[in-house]
């Protein structure tokens, strides 16, 4: 038995026919952390609550989809427009990571190989699309060459088989492409292909001062600074890319005594950023480079690599995808399954996940595309199918935990569901989704998917609405017909 203060539940449950004691505290006895005997919620009651919930004027203007089904039951507990298409936003990552586990295996690793020839006069780096590759890996390459006596490189070749036109998915929106959450996804990725621009207020009337977290990446952008240090700025700093140009127009302002503002942006030319950063690390080790080139020829210049730098295993990478909702990692995994240069019939991959091809339309791996479509019931079926695989535990553990980790770390923290729900969030303008698993006393683990499209409400309002739905899902019971409505 668990004891929970009634005050903890008052904002999640309908008012109970109970009175507080004279001391001002009443303990509500629960059979689990989420199901109250004093206010039983039967399946019929759940249906009424959900439908009444969605009929609220501010919620009813949008399009909602709901699917709730126990893992051990072939029949859903509740469905509402569950077979209709919705834009999933980052719930798309649930499909991508399941596909990666299926096609690549949990122990798959990206491997970047370094070859040398003629005593190190020619060095070749064959990139692998590793999204976790960082500056420490560049340092390892430079030190590895130094340890082998290399002091001068006549030709440094970076092999990257992904063409610039394939760096972003064709259906991504233009306004997203200069931001760090939509970076180019090439083969030679470095530090997430992101760079941070920090704006610092100056004296009154002066423009904000921009500084870059990485000068090499920052130098690829030309800044048109239209900002101002003002007592009452008309808007916070905003960044807009001039179409087709590596130019960023920065507007808005900050007060003179205000804090700095940091904006994460995408690297403009990832291949050259990788090369220039590698040359810098080589120079730090006393190794000069005469010429550097980029090619798409993967033929190695030597029989065996000098170095092989590997990523963490896939079972670790998918945690970054699902818990942190990392778009770059998701797209890199999709590229590993099928290179973007090759025509891809994603429907065959969907079929191997045990899903009907009529329930999923895949246009990217991250969910940034508004052309992605999926039904709530397909996502629930995906979650159920994953638990039946040998990688089921790995998949479930890749999801954020309510009140504890990832994008759910601060969600549900004030509810009895902390640690009792795993899920994946998703957000685009007008789109919010939440799909996952929640513990239920009688049904065990229940899979659910709540999706909303075409909403004019803020994401925080929609998330609160979904939080209530998850709480009810955790509370619902199997009841006898005579118990319905009690």
| Digit-coded pLDDT (tens) for 168-198 | 999 999 999 999 999 999 999 999 999 999 9
What pLDDT is attached to residue 6? 34
Shared domain for 429 and 445, answered yes or no, is yes
- Two structure tokens written together for 205: 């009337």
What pLDDT is attached to residue 341? 77
Shared domain for 47 and 86, answered yes or no, is yes
Instruction: Answer yes or no: is 357 within a domain.
Output: yes
Range name among 60-64, 438-442, 482-486 with the lowest pLDDT average: 482-486
pLDDT band at residue 25 using 50, 70 and 90 as cut-offs = very low
Range of the domain at 145: 111-165+270-311
Shared domain for 240 and 279, answered yes or no, is no
Domain boundary among 247, 263, 279: 263
Shared domain for 459 and 413, answered yes or no, is yes
pLDDT reading at 22 higher than 70: no
Range name among 26-40, 54-68, 377-391, 468-482 with the lowest pLDDT average: 26-40
Shared domain for 368 and 383, answered yes or no, is yes
What pLDDT is attached to residue 481? 66
Instruction: Answer yes or no: is 158 within a domain.
Output: yes
Instruction: Name the residue with higher pLDDT: 20 or 218.
Output: 218
Burial 316-334 (b: 16+ CB within 10 A, else e): ebbbbbbbebbbbbbbbbb
- Two structure tokens written together for 233: 């700025």
3-state secondary structure the chain: CEEEEHHHHCCCCCCCCCCCCCCCCCEEEECCCCCEHHHCCEHHHHHHHHHHHHCCHHHHCCEEEEEEEECCCCCCCEEECCCCCECCHHHHHHHHHHHHHHHHCCCCCCEEEEEEECCCCEEEEECCCCCCCCHHHHHHHHHHHHHCCCCEEEEEEEECCCCHHHCCCCCCCHHHCCECCCCCCCCCCCHHHEEEEEEECCCCCCCCEEEECCHHHHCCCEEEECCEECCCCCCCCEEEECCCCCEEEEECEECCCCCCEEEEEECCCHHHHHHHHHHHHHHHCCCEEEEEEEECCCCCCCCCCCEEEECCCHHHHHHHHHHHCCHHHHHHHHHHHCCCCCCCCHHHHHHHCCCCHHHEECCCCCCCCCCCEECHHHHHHHHHHHHCCCCHHHHHHCCEECCCCHHHCCCCCCCCCCCCEEEEEEEECCEEEEEEEEEECCCEEEEEEEEEECCCCCHHHHHHHHHHHHHHHHHCECCCHHHCCC
What pLDDT is attached to residue 150? 96
d(CA 172, CA 438): 32
Range name among 16-20, 361-365, 456-460, 467-471 with the lowest pLDDT average: 16-20
Instruction: Answer yes or no: is 259 within a domain.
Output: yes
Shared domain for 98 and 144, answered yes or no, is no
Tell me how many degrees the CA angle 83-49-428 measures, rounded to the nearest 5. Answer: 50
pLDDT reading at 484 higher than 60: no
pLDDT reading at 439 higher than 70: yes
Reported as a single tens digit per residue, the pLDDT across 379-395 is: 999 999 999 999 999 99
Burial 406-438 (b: 16+ CB within 10 A, else e): bbbeebbeebbbbebbbbbbbbbebbbbbbbbb
For residues 23-51, give the mean pLDDT: 60
d(CA 396, CA 439): 13
d(CA 325, CA 329): 9
What pLDDT is attached to residue 212? 98
Reported as a single tens digit per residue, the pLDDT across 336-365 is: 999 987 767 899 999 999 999 999 999 999
CA distances from 319 to 50, 140, 193 (A): 31, 25, 19
Shared domain for 433 and 464, answered yes or no, is yes
- Two structure tokens written together for 173: 């929106």
Q: Report the mean per-residue pLDDT for the chain.
A: 91
pLDDT band at residue 143 using 50, 70 and 90 as cut-offs = very high
Percent of the chain whose pLDDT exceeds 90: 88
pLDDT band at residue 2 using 50, 70 and 90 as cut-offs = very low
Shared domain for 161 and 306, answered yes or no, is yes
d(CA 251, CA 122): 46
Burial 214-249 (b: 16+ CB within 10 A, else e): bebbbebbeeeeebbbbeebeeebebebeeeeeebb
User: What's the half-sphere exposure (Cβ side, CA atoms, 13 Å) at 349?
Assistant: 21
pLDDT reading at 4 higher than 70: no
Instruction: Answer yes or no: is 326 within a domain.
Output: no
d(CA 62, CA 276): 48
User: Token pair 């539940």 is at which residue?
Assistant: 9
For residues 60-76, give the mean pLDDT: 96
Instruction: Answer yes or no: is 175 within a domain.
Output: no
Shared domain for 230 and 199, answered yes or no, is yes
What pLDDT is attached to residue 483? 55
pLDDT reading at 259 higher than 50: yes
What pLDDT is attached to residue 482? 59
Range name among 65-74, 91-100, 341-350, 369-378 with the lowest pLDDT average: 341-350
Reported as a single tens digit per residue, the pLDDT across 397-429 is: 999 999 999 999 999 999 999 999 999 999 999
pLDDT reading at 320 higher than 80: yes
pLDDT reading at 1 higher than 80: no
Shared domain for 249 and 303, answered yes or no, is no
CATH number of the CATH domain containing 151: 3.50.80.20
Shared domain for 33 and 45, answered yes or no, is no
* Residues 6 or more apart in contact with residue 107 via CB below 8 angstroms: 313, 314, 315
What pLDDT is attached to residue 40? 80
d(CA 289, CA 228): 42
Counted domains in the chain = 4
Shared domain for 12 and 158, answered yes or no, is no
What pLDDT is attached to residue 480? 73
């Amino acid at each position: 038995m668990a004891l929970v203060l009634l005050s903890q539940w008052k904002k999640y449950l309908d008012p109970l026919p109970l009175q507080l004691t004279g001391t001002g505290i009443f303990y509500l006895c629960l059979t689990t952390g989420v199901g109250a005997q004093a206010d039983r919620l039967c399946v019929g009651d759940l249906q009424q609550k959900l439908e009444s919930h969605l009929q609220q004027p501010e919620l009813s203007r949008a399009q909602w989809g709901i699917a709730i089904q126990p893992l051990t039951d072939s029949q859903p507990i509740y469905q509402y427009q569950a077979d209709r298409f919705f834009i999933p936003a980052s719930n798309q990552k649930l499909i991508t990571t399941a596909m990666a586990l299926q096609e690549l295996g949990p122990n798959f690793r990206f491997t970047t190989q370094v070859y040398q020839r003629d005593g190190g006069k020619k060095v070749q780096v064959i990139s692998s699309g590793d999204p976790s590759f960082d500056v420490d890996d560049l340092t390892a390459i430079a030190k590895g060459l130094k340890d082998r006596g290399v002091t001068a490189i006549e030709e440094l070749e970076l092999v990257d088989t992904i063409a610039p036109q394939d760096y972003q998915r064709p259906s991504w929106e233009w306004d997203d492409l200069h931001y760090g959450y939509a970076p180019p996804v090439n083969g030679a990725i470095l530090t997430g292909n992101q760079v941070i621009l920090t704006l610092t207020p100056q004296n009154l009337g002066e423009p904000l001062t921009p500084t870059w977290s990485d000068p090499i990446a920052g130098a690829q952008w030309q800044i048109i600074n239209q900002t101002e240090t003002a007592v009452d700025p008309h808007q916070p700093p905003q960044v807009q890319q001039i179409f087709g140009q590596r130019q960023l127009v920065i507007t808005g302002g900050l007060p003179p005594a205000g804090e700095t503002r940091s904006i994460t942006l995408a690297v403009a030319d990832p291949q050259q950023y990788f090369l220039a950063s590698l040359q810098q690390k080589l120079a730090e080790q006393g190794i000069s480079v005469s010429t550097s080139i980029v090619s798409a020829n993967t033929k190695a210049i030597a029989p065996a690599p000098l170095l092989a730098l590997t990523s963490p295993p896939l079972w670790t990478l998918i945690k970054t995808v699902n818990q942190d909702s990392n778009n770059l990692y998701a797209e890199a995994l999709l590229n590993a399954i099928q290179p973007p240069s090759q025509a891809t019939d994603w429907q065959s991959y969907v079929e191997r996940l045990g899903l009907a091809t009529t329930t999923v339309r895949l246009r990217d791996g991250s969910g940034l595309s508004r052309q992605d479509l999926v039904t709530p019931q397909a996502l629930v079926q995906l979650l159920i199918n994953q638990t039946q695989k040998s990688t089921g535990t790995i998949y479930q553990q890749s999801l954020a935990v309510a009140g504890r980790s990832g994008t759910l770390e601060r969600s549900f923290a004030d509810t009895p569901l902390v640690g009792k729900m795993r899920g994946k969030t998703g957000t685009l303008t007008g789109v919010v989704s939440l799909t996952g698993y929640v513990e239920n006393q009688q049904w065990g683990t229940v899979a659910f998917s709540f999706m909303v499209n075409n909403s004019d409400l803020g994401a925080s309002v929609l998330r609160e609405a979904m939080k209530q739905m998850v709480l009810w899902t955790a509370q619902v019971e199997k009841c006898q017909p005579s118990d319905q409505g009690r």
